[in-house]
Chain A
Amino acid sequence: MKIDFTLNNKEISIDVDANRRLLDLLRDDFGMKSVKEGCGEGECGACVVLVNGRSMNSCMLPAGAIIGKSVVTLEGFKHTERYKAIESGFLKAGSVQCGFCTPGFVISTESLLNENPHPTDDEIKEALSGNLCRCTGYNMIVKGVRLAIEMGEGLW
């Protein structure tokens, strides 16, 4: 079926099986390789993208679910001021180790701060609980979000 949506603020119109996973559409058809497949069952958050500003697991979304919506991946988001604040925070806090979960955490952080620019540590932990990380033990990621909030004051 024909699907219209915006991808990283670009208008897209394609003919695609409505049941195709958004994850495959983004990676295979649009080369959005920042979107990672970690589990394919909505448990790990490595594949989250912003759909109308909220982070969602692209492995659980059929292409048909994004009609008329705005989809943002890291390929688009990385050019924003908000991204730069998150990047600085994560770099300074040591939030990145193997990196496979990292794009997902960046997207979920944006989704959280978009809704709640001044979260408590508990709110940060709750907002990131859909993203699994096996390297860091999470505390350094939470600290990265804290630093991003400080450095990006006024952006959200």
Chain B
Amino acid sequence: MKSKRAPVKQPISKSIIRVDSRAKLRGEAQYVSDWEFENMLYARTFRSTKAKAKILSIEIPDIPEGYFIVDKNDVPGVNRMRTVVSDHPLFAEDNVQYIGQPILLVVGPDREGIDSIYSQIKPEYQEETPLLTLEEAEKHSKVFTDYNYKKEDPEKAFANAHRIIEDSFSTGYQEHVYLEPQGIAAEFKDDTLFVYGSMQCPFYVEGALMDAMDMPKEKIRVVQTVTGGAFGGKEEFPSLNGCHVAIAAKKTGHPVSMIYDRDEDILCSTKRHPSKVRFKAALDENDDLVGLDIDVLLNAGAYNGLSPVVLQRAIFSATNVYHIKNLNVRGRNYMTNVLPSGAYRGFGAPQTIFAIEMLFYNIAKKLGVDPLEYKMRHLLKQADSTCTGGCVREEVKMPEIIEKIVKSSDYYNKLKNNKKYQGIGISLFLHGCGFTGKGESVINGKIELIKNKDIVTFKVSSVEMGQGAETVLRKIVAETLEIPIEKVIYETVDTGKVPDSGPTVASRTTMIVGGLLQKTAMQMKERWDDLENLELTNNYKQPKYLSWDDENFRGDCYPVHSWGANVAEVEIDPVTYELTVKKLHAVFDVGVPIDERALIGQMEGGVVQGVGWATIEVMGSDLGRLKQANLTDYKIPTSMDVPEIDCDFVLNPYEFGPFGAKCAGELSFVGSPPAVAAAVAHAMGKAINHLPITPEVLMEMDNED
């Protein structure tokens, strides 16, 4: 745990004690499951046990007084969850499309009473043939979304190719395992609806409630409660369970709380999209990669939801840190009768970045050249065009990042070690900061900054969910105004009190919302001594240099990127094939760290989540039912599984970020899976084209010879 790293020499990077940590340590932080309301009822969701079926009838037992059934007939507004594609019914209508799909709620004052009613509900189904896998869905062309973009002249590149190499990669599900399961509660006070819960995007929930409840926004207050981790899992999902409790509160006239237990949470909440990525690579006479045909397939599950935007990030990240002259990129979301996939840290990018990193590795091996050297021959540089023909405007510090990590990990010396079952691997990666394409101008994020004598309150809809937003945003305001952080108040995120500064997603909180706060704080500073009270608001404006054509996917899909490299060292047990990650090295360019310790904590956590996805986090489905439906079967890394992590930064201030900061949260995740895969490939002398890398896979691989 000793770091050789020198601390970042920027005043803003100096670490402070996180403002939310004391209450959490003392067990005093109030998560939604700790909230109690007078005359509160509990709710439990009755779910489909069939992957695809018509609902012929539902037999409901006699309901004792005080208990209620809430279903599709109780929805005051539209029976669909509002999101990018509003196709998910709040409650099933005449059919079910996946195991776990909500059909109705049983609501009442006592959990045992609810369970008793629940066990007597008998739906009669007429089963239909489900589509269960990505392969089946592709065979049957069940496509939700089909995107395509081109760059230059891929046909010509392939026609003139000296060599053409084909390869394909796949990845599995991943469950978020935020430690606090999904939880939400609703009550009416007079005619105003209050929804309280664990969530990333209170204004998404508000929008969903407006549709479901047929109520104006003025009558809806969505209040975020202390959120025990999210990682994307509480991005769109609370719009569904939020509508459920609101409808139940309206029908029953009582406050209603619905806290999932872990098994239910795993069974029905969204997952990272399983993927398949196929490449055809055109190499010229120097063996340089000059053309790529990329085909990205995601398993969206039974409803499309926000999968189209996940697919966009997947296809815009598919060339990673490389400059490929000619491109033909296709991306498809497939419908299957399995629970819907959704947002998860990295948002489609980890799948394609793993794929292209291993493509480069495999090609280099085929050519007999060093994989890192081959990758470096293709690195993007400043002023190069991006995959969508935008411009890389920032200085690309990848050479410095690589030099640093190669040295600190002693990469090349360890690479010479040809001992079987020991390996070292490197990954290079980037992450596009903020929303994809025009996203930020659509959201048009707004913030408020209020001075009352020497106290400054800021109002934003960005939530603290463990990532440190509260501390970082307070710090940005305090440092800009040159006042103590204790004088800065972060207003409770309540849609009735704060403006919509956008959802807490896409690694946008520090750079976009923090940037807007800094700009506003600078305006406040100019008038600081003149006025006792001052209220300022600002809307986010995209930097003028950005241009994006949403129809043809041309231009700058992101305003700027964060960059990084990871090195993993692994060992494989020759008898059990158990894979151990012995050491991880990480170097990141996130612009300028806002609070170094908070950032390292976030980065280490992301790196470890990535290792989990790449190794032990196995989740499969059998006939539409998840095979790993609890934490006994679905393993995430424990303290025993985690290696020493060396985390370092390269400074590269971004003009439009607060104190030079860019994005960080998702960047932390994308690098470790391909680094581990490359290390395993080195250890085994075999290509790694699939994640997770399980002992079974390694054993089979070893026995192939």
Contacts and interface: CB of A to CB of B under 8 A. Distances in A.
Contacts of B468: 97
B76 interface: no
A37 B631 CA distance: 13
B17 A91 contact: yes
B226 A41 contact: no
B605 interface: yes
Interface in B540-580: none
Q: Interface residues of A toward B: which range?
A: 35 or more
Interface string B7-47: 00000000101101111111111110110000000000000
B466 A99 contact: yes
A18 interface: no
Contacts of A50: none
A75 B27 contact: yes
A100 B180 contact: yes
A106 B261 contact: no
Nearest to B231: A134
A86 B645 CA distance: 23
A121 interface: yes
Contacts of B34: 33
A143 B597 CA distance: 12
Contacts of A102: 24-25, 27
A110 B625 CA distance: 40
A94 B229 contact: no
A139 interface: yes
Contacts of B31: 36, 100
A9 to B, nearest CB: 17
**Most chain B C-beta atoms within 10 Å of own C-beta, residue among A40, A46, A75, A131:** A40
Contact of A87 (B22, B178, B466, B640): B22
Nearest to A98: B466
A5 interface: no
B179 A100 contact: yes
Interface string B226-262: 1111110000000000000000000000000000011
B37 to A, nearest CB: 14
Given A99-B466, A140-B604, A38 B26 contact: no
Interface in A71-87: 73-75, 78, 86-87
B328 interface: no
B95 interface: no
Contacts of A74: 26-27
B607 interface: yes
Chain B, interface size: which category?
35 or more
Nearest to B15: A94
Nearest to A39: B262
Given A37-B33, A78-B27, A129-B639, A121 B601 contact: no
A111 interface: no
A103 B33 CA distance: 15
A137 B604 contact: yes
A128 interface: yes
Interface in B452-501: 465-468
Contacts of A129: 638-640
A46 B602 CA distance: 20
Contacts, number: 175
Contact of A46 (B21, B179, B636, B640): B179
Contacts of B229: 97-98, 100, 134-135
A44 B631 contact: yes
Which residue of B34, B179, B231, B638 has the most chain A CB atoms within 10 A of its CB atom? B179
B18 A132 contact: no
B467 A91 contact: no
A129 B641 CA distance: 9
B674 interface: no
Contact of B24 (A43, A96, A128): A96
Given A37-B33, A125-B639, A128-B639, A139 B21 contact: no
Interface string A119-156: 00100111011111111111111110010000000000
B639 A140 contact: no
Given A96-B21, A132-B177, A103 B228 contact: no
Nearest to A46: B179
Given A39-B262, A41-B632, A90-B25, A137 B605 contact: yes
A99 to B, nearest CB: 3
Contacts of A43: 630-632
A57 to B, nearest CB: 12
Nearest 3 CB-CB pairs, A to B? A34-B27, A98-B466, A99-B24
Interface of B: 1, 15, 17-18, 20-31, 33-34, 176-181, 226-231, 261-263, 465-468, 597-598, 600-602, 604-609, 630-632, 636-640, 642, 644-645
Interface of A: 33-41, 43-44, 46, 73-75, 78, 86-87, 90-92, 94, 96-103, 106, 121, 124-126, 128-143, 146
Given A39-B630, A96-B20, A137-B601, 16 more contacts: A37-B261, A38-B262, A41-B630, A41-B632, A78-B27, A91-B21, A98-B24, A98-B229, A99-B29, A99-B466, A100-B179, A134-B229, A137-B608, A139-B1, A139-B642, A139-B644
17 contacts: A33-B34, A37-B33, A38-B179, A43-B630, A87-B26, A97-B468, A98-B24, A99-B24, A106-B27, A128-B639, A134-B178, A134-B231, A134-B605, A135-B179, A135-B229, A141-B639, A142-B639
